Amino acid sequence: MYTYGELLDDVNYLSRYGVETGAIGSSAYGRIIPYVKIGAGKHSVMVTAAIHAREHVSALFAVRQMYKLFAAPPECGVYFVPIVNPDGNVLVSEGAAAFGSDSDRLLALNGGNEDFSLWKANAAGVDLNVNFNARWGEGAQNVRTAGSENYIGAKPFSEPETVALAEFTRKIKPVLTLSYHAKGREIYYEFGQSGERLRRDRAVAEYAASLTGYRLIEGTRGSAGGYKDWCVQELKIPSLTIELVSDNFSHPLPDESIYEDFARAPLLPVQLCDFMKENGYV
């Protein structure tokens, strides 16, 4: 699996070649949440991955795109945050022992199971992708107790990771955000838009579907409190949740499960940025 340690190595490597790198903030356990910016131009795109810990192949997908763009920097600034949830990634890769005196609490949250390979939340047991302030608590699968998935947290933005991601997104003012998840090969874009915004966002989502061969999903399917939901509602920009990986694979997903998806769309963020320019959306 692609680990947080590998990401730190990749970020250091790119920074030695003059690429802009930094941190959007830190996790609850003090791990920095790195970003890498590749390309430059009037407009920027935000790419996030691995907000759900077990979906680490989405980080690998983002990092491969990062290197591909590093080889030929685009006329669009692409910000990558490949692991939004570093504590969750470490929990999946190293288990509860990596959290010292908190390991007993984590084991209890995981039902006594020492295998954290299916864990999605952060190390506080909050599912970060239902913790944003966008119809928070109204999601179809929301739960109100900490655990491996779907817990909304004590309040919107209760977690440092979601606060950092929202603040950084407001700062860089992207024209579009892409959130990589796994799995299912589906694209979600709706969260209550109407009129011109709905037409624009659907056009961008349809183009993404044509490039990837993924299925476009209409409606929200019970989603609330997600990063994409918050971007649509608060920033009023197109924002896609992209579920990578064929359903032929099962969790925990092996690295190989992402290879064909990457081959389909290595330049996706730039192609979508160009599409928005060509169609006069920015």
Residue numbers at the binding site for Zn ion (CB under 5 A): 52, 55, 181
Q: Is the separation of the CB atoms in 62 and 190 below 8 Å? A: no
| Shortest separation between residue 272's beta carbon and Zn ion, angstroms | 20
| Shortest separation between residue 59's beta carbon and Zn ion, angstroms | 12
Q: Pick the closer one to Zn ion by CB: 10 or 55.
A: 55
Sequence-ordered list of residues with C-beta below 8 angstroms from that of 233, at least 6 positions apart, any chain: 134, 135, 191, 192
| Shortest separation between residue 15's beta carbon and Zn ion, angstroms | 28
Q: Residue 237 burial (CB < 10 Å; 0-12/13-18/19+)?
A: buried
Beta-carbon count within 10 A of 274 CB: 16
Token couple for 160: 């440092």
Strand pairing class (186-188; 215-217) = parallel
Residues in the chain: 282
Q: Which residue is nearest to Zn ion (CB)?
A: 181
Q: Pick the closer one to Zn ion by CB: 64 or 181.
A: 181
Nearest residue to 40 via CA among 270, 194, 251, 223: 270
| Shortest separation between residue 224's beta carbon and Zn ion, angstroms | 14
Q: Pick the closer one to Zn ion by CB: 183 or 200.
A: 183
Q: Pick the closer one to Zn ion by CB: 52 or 185.
A: 52
| Shortest separation between residue 179's beta carbon and Zn ion, angstroms | 8
Q: Pick the closer one to Zn ion by CB: 69 or 92.
A: 92
